[in-house]
Structure 1
Amino acid sequence: MLRTRGAALVIAVLLVIAGLPGLTAGAIPDNRVTITDTTVSPGTPTAGAPTTVSATVRLSAGSASAATLERVEVVDGNETLGAATGLGSLTPGETLSVPVTVRFDEPGSKNLTVLATVSDVNDTLTTVRRPLSLVVESGVPQVETDLGRLVAGVDSPGAVVVSNPTTAAIRNVSVELSGIDGERTRRTIPTLGAGATQTLNFSFHPTAEGTRNVTVDVAYTTAVGTRAAERVERSVEVVPLSEDVGVRVERSAADQQPAADGGGGGGLAGLASALGGGNTLQPNDGSDDGQDTTGVAVTVTNFGNAPIRDAVVVPQLANGSMVPELGRIAVADSIAPGESASVSVDLSDVRASTLRFAVEYDLGDESREVARPYDLDRSTGAVSITGLNLSVDGDELRIAGNLGNVGDGEIRGVVVGVGGNEYVVPTYPGRDQFIGTVGPSEFAPFELTAEIDAGNATNVPVEVAYTTAGERRTTTIDAVPPAQPDEPETGLLGGFRALDGGLAGLGLGVLVTVPLVVFGVRRYR
């Protein structure tokens, strides 16, 4: 009796279940629908960039009827990241691959679930699941700044390094800096490939020293065409301007030609060889081993903290004029802090004994100069006037003397003349006299004429112009005119003075004559 009741109860339960909607005999069990595979593209997803998850859904060949693939979705816990719907039907044994696009906001490890939902001919829904684990990397461009060389009042360089950490290229990358004055504070990159890095150079012109807040805005187009942006903020220090330019002048042998770009004198090596000179570097005192020296190497070193621009060497004579045989010599368009640049200057046509190497350059908005004297160690002549004789006849002055060369080099193109002043005027035929060349320890006579106001003139300038060691020099010697006799006095006072003079002369004669007479008498007695 009990077995009969149990069997009846089981039959009744089965009849009730069979009568429920969606669970008819034609329903598709879960094990008849499967997600056989999932793939992720790109293989390394990046935050902010689109990622495609492809799910392969298969309807078992043992299914009683076809099924409709209603939906495939990717979920993270309770959050749906992406879904695909209206996917068509599956016949028993058929497989369909469905791509779903998702986007991850943050990098890190992700434990996801892929869901596929199908319905049968009775609209009965069946959902199957497949876990998916992946790692999301940072997807925005990486930005690094190099703004540690900002100097107040001058153009200062800066750099921003942009890296693409994704596996797809990004396009139309725009990098703009704000917070510091400058003319070139925006740069663009047409395309930045996957994993690529590019350095962008900027130019700033901070007006004042101190701490500045700099904002770097990066805008770019992702691989799927969406526009995205990233902002980076930095705090930088603007230092005061420090100007320190050194000049070194050293001998160079005839067969040596230092390169114009520094030839080893730049960078740290140039600094090491030039230290200790302040604004003027000391020349090399080493021997040239007897080689014929025809020129010098001029090295310009920037010890300051800002680039100098358009450096030019201007060789000058002792009087400050430019050496016409050399002119201006370009050194470098720009010399960065800590860098050096050199040029070779040929002195074979220069006859001067001393030169001044001036270096002109631009720093900020100003033109500046630093100079270094240089001795060529050449023989030079020097003039001296001896035996100078001045005679006055009325208002006519005659000057005669000898011009000697007391130096160790010859003097050429020697001209002697009367300089003239308020009371002395050079006159024909001896206003001046060309002597020509006078060798070392030699002399040459000269004679000059002038008109003089003898009563008022206190000096007569005699000018000597000559060339030695390539330099034209002028020397002026002030000669003293002879004293003029006083006018004879007349009248009673003049007579008394004449009488006094006669008596004085008579007394002097007696004093001289008497001893001589006595001496003669004693000798011949």
Structure 2
Amino acid sequence: MRHSVAVLACLVVVGSLPLSVAGASVNVSISEVEVSPSSPAPGETVTFDTTVRNLQSSDAALKINDIAIRKSGGRGITEYERVSDLGSIPPDSTLEVPLTASFDSSGNKDLRVIVYGRDRQTGEFVKAKYPVQLNVKERHPQVDITANDSVAGVESTGEVTVANGLDSQITNVEVVVEGDGVEMTKSRTVRSSIAQNGSITAPFRFRPESAGEHSLTATVSYTVAGDTTRTTTRSKVIESDPLRNSVELDTTAVGSGTDRALRVAVSNGANAPLSDVMVSATSENASFQRVLLENISASTTRQVRLNATMNEPRADVTVTATYELGTETEQTTTETTLRSVPGTIDLTGLDVVRQGGRLQISGSASNVGSTDADSVLVSVVDTERITPATPNRDYFVGTVPASDFVSFDVYARTTGNVTSVPLEVTYLVDDTRKTQRFDVDINQMGSAAQQPEQDGGSEGGNQNSMLPVFIAGGLALLVIVGVLVRRYRRSDDDIEV
């Protein structure tokens, strides 16, 4: 936008009245000088749009030989711009001529626009002057650079803030960041405009090539009113730390039975983030899944689960984490052992009671593994001297959960000298049928008390079994008689009173 020249505080100051020169037949004046931009910066091109008028009172045309803009006062002549051979101006007509100039330094500039002409009727020379005062200022939007902590060889981030404190919006804003001893991975941002008193932030990314001090420089180019392009720069010194690699692995066995896995904690003690982290495990007796983690920030820990397929109950495992740190590929390892403990049935709390010609064997089917055991069946093994007996030749226990037990009872008849009774236990673990055999030592059970069988015997045995019932009945009768006698005596005492 162009501004008419007027008395402006610290900006552009011109004479309050246009100057005119009267020749014999020509009256000429410089009626107006518009200056754009009104607040130029050093090195910025300033345009002086000059309007020359041949007044209505003139009798002849005015030929314009030259129009110049000069420094006013001082020694010598400093001329910034001159245009020549501009043609003639008839009476009551005007001519607009743009003049341009730039100034290397800031400060007040006392200038003068001068018109050199000739009266075409008389041939006399005509000269007109117009004073202009211009204030050149170092005025730019405020620029600030911030950068995060950086490490040599590791990409870091920052941003440039551009705050427009000028008296109008700026357009075509371009921010470019360069570095000394750093690689810029994102350096340029473009914005269409920044409103008056508005601001923008321009992000950038950089990678220091080495530890130590580095300089970042932001160059901001923009356009102000009048299509004038300006440029300003701002620098900042940053300190980059040396890269420190410190990664630890911690493993924990999880799961149960054959469904085993390793929980791996990856702790990043480095001063930079880890990227493309691949966690894997190898073993001769097991295979493992691999897990990929994109990033692990500095001073943080991430956990992953590596599911295992085991070929043996025990597997010696090497766990490895491979990762990118800065521009280098690194890895760290640790050793651990993984054991598989499937459901396993053991017979515990065994007790043997002889009942006539039978042995009652009771106890618990205990699951000492870490997975469920299904379809558990305890049976007496039929041999030459041992025969399964009723009521329980075998006992279906069913499912025994991990680290739990279920009681059972089985019966056997023996012939001759027998010291142990064989029991067979079958069950399913992970859809696999397993069979175990246990020899129950009769002589060491400490429960060889002779007891008659309850499913048959002599009549004397039945009478003996009824004896406790008769005794209990007699005792009850004696108690009742005693109570009645006491009440009778108490009633007699009451009558005597």
Q: Which band: TM-score by shorter chain?
A: 0.3 to 0.5
User: Which structure shows the bigger proportion of residues in strand conformation?
Assistant: 2
User: TM-score, normalised to structure 1's length?
Assistant: 0.44
User: Which structure shows the bigger proportion of residues in helix conformation?
Assistant: 1
User: TM-score, normalised to structure 2's length?
Assistant: 0.46
